[in-house]
Amino acid sequence: MITYEEHRLRSLADQGRWIELLGAYRQARAAAVALDPVAGGAAGGLFRAPGGPAQGRAAAATAPLGHLIAYAAPPEVAARLFDPDGGPGTAADVTDHDAGPLWEVLATRHSWRRLAPLLGPPPVRRLVAQTRVLLGEDLSRDAEPDREGVPLRLEPWEAAGRTEGAPVREYLRDGGARSALLTLPASREGLAPVELPAPGTRLPGQPATRALAELAGWARAVCVRGPAPCAAAQLAPGRLVTGGYLPFVLAWPALVQAGVTGRAHGAAHGRLALWRALAAMTGARRPGWADRADLVDRAEVGALVARMRCFTWEDPADRLRHLHLALEDPASGLSWALSGSEEV
């Protein structure tokens, strides 16, 4: 049932009265913060919290209205969702989401040139910038350098991968989003029966393994000494699989989307996490890396991608979302495998 409050807010949106809607968002969010941890429990309509009581906090209680403002309001108003000038508890942060993070909704609607002068909080600025990069915008001259050195334009291999599948969701005005389900393997095309070798010996404690596990928290990650099929044999359902090799550019979209966790994490999280993993595979991480602006060596990562061999395989138990990929670096003799599936 559409409540009076929901009808009023939609009417304000239809009339373009965005400042009033921003005020309503801030007022509702402040009230929800005051009621935490059961914030939003009494709210209805546009303030209804998605999910159960655990999500009935300030961010969830006001997320649908925040989504509408981020999507449809002029950028000068929408960017103020993250501005603390409204007082304590009124500003959204990087965790606020509805169909997806509010910062990602905003980033899909306006160019960096429009948003850069308006965005204050550094975490929001960083994620919005990385989203614009994923959408194909070159920010290498227009944005502050990324604190981990992740490039502010797509590398050629990323641009090639983007033509195969765009990992950023396409949001709808009244809530919801369209998103292609990017999986590996995406189909059986190019795959054939393969008998895997004996599993390679696991090498524990590898930074790249931890980075891959952080990229896709729903999948298992291992590192072995040996070629990609030896790593795959550690996680595959048996010795005989349907699998095959593929270029890294075809794996890139699914790897980026693997970092999109539920509604809270956007594609920018996936790109940042993937660059961390690739940088770790090159051995570029050294003591004190967290204090360095040049953590990521673009040339080293590019060389790794150029020589990398990628092997994918099917698992009969796959659910809707799945990822089975082994990454082999012939230069180091190491291979990493990442494998898992889940409902979405």
pLDDT digits (tens, 9 = 90+) for 45-101: 454 444 333 334 566 778 999 999 999 999 999 999 999 999 999 999 999 999 999
**184 and 327 in contact (C-beta within 8 Å)?**
no
What whole-number distance in Å separates Cα of residue 128 and Cα of residue 28?
25
Q: Burial of 163 by CB count in 10 Å (0-12 exposed, 13-18 middle, 19+ buried)? A: exposed
Residue, of 142 and 323, whose pLDDT is higher: 323
DSSP state of 79: G
Tell if the pTM clears 0.85, that is, is over it. yes
Residue, of 187 and 41, whose pLDDT is higher: 187
What whole-number distance in Å separates Cα of residue 156 and Cα of residue 292?
25
Instruction: Please provide the DSSP assignment of 55-77 as one string.
Output: G-SHHHHHHHHHHHHHHHS-HHH
Predicted confidence at residue 284, as pLDDT, reads 60
Answer yes or no: is pLDDT of 136 > 70: yes
Range 246-263 average pLDDT:
93
Query: Which helix or strand (DSSP H or E) is residue 182 part of?
Result: none
What whole-number distance in Å separates Cα of residue 60 and Cα of residue 67?
11
What whole-number distance in Å separates Cα of residue 228 and Cα of residue 251?
14
Nearest alpha carbon to residue 179 among 248, 106, 82, 108: 108
Predicted confidence at residue 5, as pLDDT, reads 74
